[in-house]
Structure 1
Amino acid sequence: MATCNPETQSAPDIRDRMNIVIVGHVDHGKSTLLGRLYADTGTLPEGKVEKIQAICKQQGKEFEYAFLFDAFLEEQQQGITIDTARTFFQWAGRQYIIIDAPGHKEFLKNMVSGAARAEAALLLIDALEGVRDQSKRHGLLLSMLGVKQVTVVVNKMDLVGYRQDTFDSIEKEYRDFLGQLNVTPQFVIPASAKLGDNIATPSAHMSWFTGPTVLDSLAEFSSETAKTEKPLRFPLQDVYKFDARRILAGRITSGRLKVGDRLICSPSNKTAVVQSIEAFNIEPPPAQAVAGQSIGITLDEQIFVERGEVVSHETSLPLVSTTFRANLFWLGRRPLEMNKQYLVRLGTQEVECQVSSIHRIVDANDLSLADQEQKTSVQRNEVADISIRAKSPLAFDLYTQFETTGRFVLIDNYDVAGGGIITEMVQDREGTLRVEAQKRDFAWVQGDVTLADRAKHYGHRAALVLLVGPNATGKTFLSKKLESLLVAEGRHAYMLDPENLRRGLDADLHKEEALEFVRRYGEVARLLVDTGLVVISTTNSFHLPADQAIEAIRTLVHPTPILTAYMSKDAQEPLIEADLSFTGPEDFTTSAHEILEALKRKGILAEALGNQPAFQFSI
């Protein structure tokens, strides 16, 4: 075996770096493979191999390459600048960082929390033992972490006489298993880490195998694109107001932007052009900014956006939905429970949510599969494949594509109780309408008068007030009273009764076409709120469950604020979540004034108007 001393060579040209994880049963040769990789790539200091060989001879035991790894790791742990969970070696112009952790639990925790991210994996199987349950669990682990680049190393081929039929059988069985997890190994390689077969050089004992060596297979893996070269992701941290200027601030997590770029804010679909880039203590202001920079931007127009929006270019938008599938590592003192209220924190977004489904659970301590029958909770230190449904739409990406916008934490009673990575977008009930609204908003032809101009002129923002609840509870009477009070105060308000649409615009629709009726209603409401109106309406004529109708309307008019008021015949609990609730019909004037106060608390209405509307437009 040839080793080289890095200190005596010129500094290698390191083009990029890659994080890899090596997984396998404790007896399948993981440490031996690592020791062999360090030795064969010249990573070890000069004389290290000979030193360990001499120690083995003194102690009367056979030399093992695993001893090299153990000694190398021990030396690195003595340094103060090296993370003990990571070691590295260099090969063919790339530095490979080995992500290792003392146990599955720590590794999974680090992966889902963002402390480490494996871009690729080597998965070991003992040729003598074949595919074991632990091998399958490790495949499941990689699948749950979204690691798609995998080389399977069938190790210890020397113990089975380098037989091709043994290798072929293991390869077929394991490829079939990984296929069920949607994982396709790029390579399956017969090897002997102990003897060096197919590690750095082709094996003379297995001429029947014409594929790459283990090191060559690593060179075939694709490194994550440099963050500056990826599409733009700019989560908004805050919106600062300075007189007439509004600065959207945050940190660019990937990509780049420049003055003159047209940007899209998700999930609101609001769009504007970058007018300037603000950076702390930099003069003159820069013309562009790239990933890693914390900046502020001003736009060519004032748009309704707030913290949590994800800014991107139109050519590569994030996903938007209320529902996504994820792999979660649970650390909470209390079990994670289905249908319990949690707070999901995703980038700079924070939204109430529930776990709507628990698909699969793995015990992180030993990777054993928990009893999957009718699981409604996840215990501490378990990893779960779950679906999460948020109260309002979220902008996100799959973790395998964008790390920052594909990772989240769950908050339970103010404590961070779990971390996870997003594996799939789940199309929610409003998905089709959301796409429609997105296409419509991108192509919206706008006049010279903006919503901000109208808000300053009218003394209020546009909004939609929805009165919901059973029939014969006085919703229409309250709508009329509220409209009268708003107009009497000098506000621009309009009562939109769905029955008026049914007799005109929707005269061609039948009762069973309820969803189309709601869609058309939402588009009409969108036009009205674009004029700056406060629109008041009921849901009497929708022929859909109230919560479904509200979410469809919310999707079509987003991000216009919606205030909901639930009216019932007696003092019963509202059947849906609402901002206000009334028992009626009783005193409509008092109820209308309560709605006015709620609109002021939401920042929609300014105080009572005089001759000068002194309304300070806020986001």
Structure 2
Amino acid sequence: MNALSAAKAPAQTAASLETPAASPTPAERELLRIVIVGHVDHGKSTLVGRILHETGALPDGKLEMIKAVSARRGMPFEWSFLLDALQTERDQGITVDTTQIRFATPKRDYLLIDAPGHVEFLRNMITGAAQADAAVLLIDAAEGVREQTRRHAFLLHLLGLKQVIVAVNKMDRVGYDRAVFAKIEADVAAYLDGFGLHPAFVVPLSAREGGFVKERAAGAEWYAGPTILEGLDQLSAPLGLGDLPLRFPVQAVYKFDERRIIAGRIESGHLAVGDELTFEPSGATARIRSLEAWPGPAPTTATAGQSIGVTLDKDIFVARGDVAAHGNLRPRAARRLTARVFWLADAPLKAGTAVTVRLATNSATGIVRSVASAVDPANLTTEGVAALGRNHVGEVDIALHRPLAADAYAINPILGRIVIEVDRKIAGGGIVLSAASEDKSPAPKGEVVAVDSAVRPADRLARYRHGGAVLWLTGLPAAGKSTVARALEKRLFDLGGAPLFLDGDTLRTGLNGDLGFLPEDRSENIRRVAEVATFLARNGQVAIVALVSPTRADRARAREIAGAFFHEVHVRAPLDVCEARDPKGHYARARKGEMANFTGISAPYEEPEQPELVLDTTADLPLCIHALEDYLTGAGVLAPPDADAGI
């Protein structure tokens, strides 16, 4: 369950339209969840109605029926009437709730979330956007970027959405004026760039007339980009739940004859007889002896979405709330959570508040240590960091009295959503930004206690003329990561800095020499490197990591470890260029089948969706180093050349 969905259940959804597309999505088809947001009256529901019509998602006769109802009421037909099913909405002419409906293109299936635009219903918009993989931000061509447009854009950023299409609607009313479109495009890009959100496409649109929904429109021959439906098909689909690491929350433990059956639902990943499971937060391990299912014969494998029972090869203590996972891909046994929370209760959330955190099938009591970055979504104003008011969003640090199995939302959303209760009532919900295995408050005598350095960060800055950073260079083998890293290390050293180059292959000859190249080994390799790099960054050094790190989940875990020190740089070169370089001969061996699990050939590489910087290494090396130096200066890692303590 999405914790934010507890905010308000829709009174009536698009299921009332009885569309055939509401049937379950076939397992072999991709599913992308899209939220449509924007200022009230900018045409969101009209666009949704048009999309349903253009994709054939409406049942026979539905369009004619709505037109007939409109005629009986003496109202001109509006596409939005397909969705505005509530009488109050038709009377007031506004959408007051989130509406979900399915449609399909030849490429994939979509779950489309039409979120309210009125300022009073931002809470429901947050509910819808929290469930989405991507967003369409709608702007009226005649009105341009409005205050509510900015609110919605900010909330998309706050909720972690990276893929956004901007649709400039009602272009027919301004005669598809290219200058009008260009100004809005520049305005919205400037605003989104302010918090690192870059639109995939900006599309001129006439939802009412159908221009650039599916077909192109006359009068806008100057626009060469995709239509809305073409743009949606070009967005990246999230990994399916079956492709994520195993998360098997225990719901109950039963005793049948001589068998002790651990029952639950596989929320992500898959399991099979013989798999070794680790149960968090206890860390106990055992192998699966058998799978049990009712009714029917016992299977030998099971995957995400299945409710299943398992028996183990040895007796270990397992209880409701424990989460089974595989090896090094297991969640944290978290005693400290940092979460982005949407607060619902009348009483404000503040430091010292006693709370109960519910996560999957488990819960734990805890204390709020601090509240930071509190924002009122109604006007995007910061209300201070002492408390989180009703309907406000902020980052909250919670110390738990006992550990919970948790993931950062960016790593695995299944264990990255929480519900917060106060006095046994739901008071808020949110997503986990980071999960720490230990409480950072002082440990009792005799336990391990971290010792701070005797050198202050300000003293290191004065000497090195830069702050600490983890510069994570990721890309295909032979994309140029090590070449760029070595050149940057030399440049910063010549300028008096303290950089250190961490090369993936070099570390595998020592620190990580015990690891292979299976997915779990790669994950542990990245975790170790991230811990070392973060230690260096905390001590004022620029750790330059050159590591293929092929999966987004592993890089997200590295970002979680490094926190604010982390800067992801995509070192990009086409596969054919990398293969032509092939300095170590690995591509040639992989093509011959002599190297298994080689990224780019026999194993996938997941490009970063929103890196801090992209370097094209088909360009000259000095240009890449100059771009890196400019980025580090702009990010505040390097002081400007004219600064007293800077380079």
Give 5+ residue unaligned stretches, structure 1. Answer: 1-5, 76-82, 432-465, 469-496, 502-508, 514-619
Letter in 2 for 1:132: R
- Cα deviation, 1:260-316, whole Å, max 9, x if unaligned, reads 112222333333221222334544x33222223333323233345544332111253
**What is the aligned-residue RMSD (CA, Å)?**
4.1
Task: For 2:354 and 2:71, locate their aligned partners in 1 and report how far apart those are by CA, in whole Å.
Answer: 62
Q: 1:391 corresponds to which residue?
A: 401
Q: 2:354 corresponds to which residue?
A: 341
Aligned in 2, Cα 1:274/1:45: closer, same or farther, shift over 3 Å? closer
Task: For 1:260 and 1:59, locate their aligned partners in 2 and report how far apart those are by CA, in whole Å.
Answer: 66
Aligned in 2, Cα 1:184/1:303: closer, same or farther, shift over 3 Å? farther
My pick for the range that moved more, 309-318 or 118-127, is: 309-318
- Cα deviation, 1:108-162, whole Å, max 9, x if unaligned, reads 34666xxxx2222211012222222211111122223333332111112234443
With structure 2 as the length reference, what TM-score do the two structures score?
A: 0.56
Partner of 2:329, secondary structure, is: coil
Q: 1:106 corresponds to which residue?
A: 124
Determine if the alignment matches structure 1 residue 286 to structure 2 residue 286. Answer: no
Task: For 1:262 and 1:371, locate their aligned partners in 2 and report how far apart those are by CA, in whole Å.
Answer: 48
Rg comparison, structure with higher value: 1
Task: For 2:368 and 2:143, locate their aligned partners in 1 and report how far apart those are by CA, in whole Å.
Answer: 39
Match of 2:418 among 373, 388, 408: 408
Aligned in 2, Cα 1:355/1:131: closer, same or farther, shift over 3 Å? farther
Letter in 2 for 1:234: F
How far residue 257 of structure 1 moved from its aligned partner, in angstroms, is: 0.7
How far residue 196 of structure 1 moved from its aligned partner, in angstroms, is: 2.4
Aligned in 2, Cα 1:71/1:42: closer, same or farther, shift over 3 Å? farther
Letter in 1 for 2:418: F
- 1:518-529 equivalences in 2 (<5 Å): none
How far residue 346 of structure 1 moved from its aligned partner, in angstroms, is: 0.9
Task: For 2:61 and 2:295, locate their aligned partners in 1 and report how far apart those are by CA, in whole Å.
Answer: 51
Aligned in 2, Cα 1:338/1:180: closer, same or farther, shift over 3 Å? farther
Aligned in 2, Cα 1:180/1:41: closer, same or farther, shift over 3 Å? same
Contact 2:171–2:177 at 8 Å: present in 1 too? yes
Aligned in 2, Cα 1:73/1:143: closer, same or farther, shift over 3 Å? farther
Determine if the alignment matches structure 1 residue 425 to structure 2 residue 434. Answer: yes
How far residue 70 of structure 1 moved from its aligned partner, in angstroms, is: 4.2
How far residue 26 of structure 1 moved from its aligned partner, in angstroms, is: 1.1
Q: 1:201 corresponds to which residue?
A: 215
My pick for the range that moved more, 103-112 or 36-45, is: 103-112
How far residue 234 of structure 1 moved from its aligned partner, in angstroms, is: 0.5
Q: 2:365 corresponds to which residue?
A: 352
Letter in 2 for 1:326: A
Aligned in 2, Cα 1:134/1:239: closer, same or farther, shift over 3 Å? same
Match of 2:44 among 18, 30, 39: 30
Q: Identity rate of aligned residues, in percent? A: 42
Aligned in 2, Cα 1:266/1:181: closer, same or farther, shift over 3 Å? farther
My pick for the range that moved more, 411-420 or 231-240, is: 231-240
Letter in 1 for 2:124: E
Letter in 2 for 1:408: I
Match of 1:308 among 321, 328, 336: 321
How far residue 209 of structure 1 moved from its aligned partner, in angstroms, is: 1.9
With structure 1 as the length reference, what TM-score do the two structures score?
A: 0.58
Letter in 2 for 1:425: S
Give 5+ residue unaligned stretches, structure 2. Answer: 1-18, 90-96, 456-647
Task: For 2:164 and 2:292, locate their aligned partners in 1 and report how far apart those are by CA, in whole Å.
Answer: 43
Contact 2:347–2:390 at 8 Å: present in 1 too? yes
What is the number of residues matched between the two proteins?
418
Aligned in 2, Cα 1:190/1:322: closer, same or farther, shift over 3 Å? farther
Task: For 2:374 and 2:453, locate their aligned partners in 1 and report how far apart those are by CA, in whole Å.
Answer: 44
My pick for the range that moved more, 181-190 or 336-345, is: 181-190
How far residue 341 of structure 1 moved from its aligned partner, in angstroms, is: 1.6
Determine if the alignment matches structure 1 residue 176 to structure 2 residue 221. Answer: no
- Cα deviation, 1:484-527, whole Å, max 9, x if unaligned, reads xxxxxxxxxxxxx99xx9xxxxxxx99999xxxxxxxxxxxxxx
How far residue 207 of structure 1 moved from its aligned partner, in angstroms, is: 2.1
Q: 1:318 corresponds to which residue?
A: 331
- Cα deviation, 1:201-223, whole Å, max 9, x if unaligned, reads 12332222211100111222344
Letter in 2 for 1:291: A
- Cα deviation, 1:453-496, whole Å, max 9, x if unaligned, reads xxxxxxxxxxxxx985xxxxxxxxxxxxxxxxxxxxxxxxxxxx
Partner of 1:253, secondary structure, is: coil
Q: 1:481 corresponds to which residue?
A: none
Contact 2:167–2:202 at 8 Å: present in 1 too? yes
Partner of 2:53, secondary structure, is: helix
Determine if the alignment matches structure 1 residue 379 to structure 2 residue 389. Answer: yes
How far residue 230 of structure 1 moved from its aligned partner, in angstroms, is: 3.0
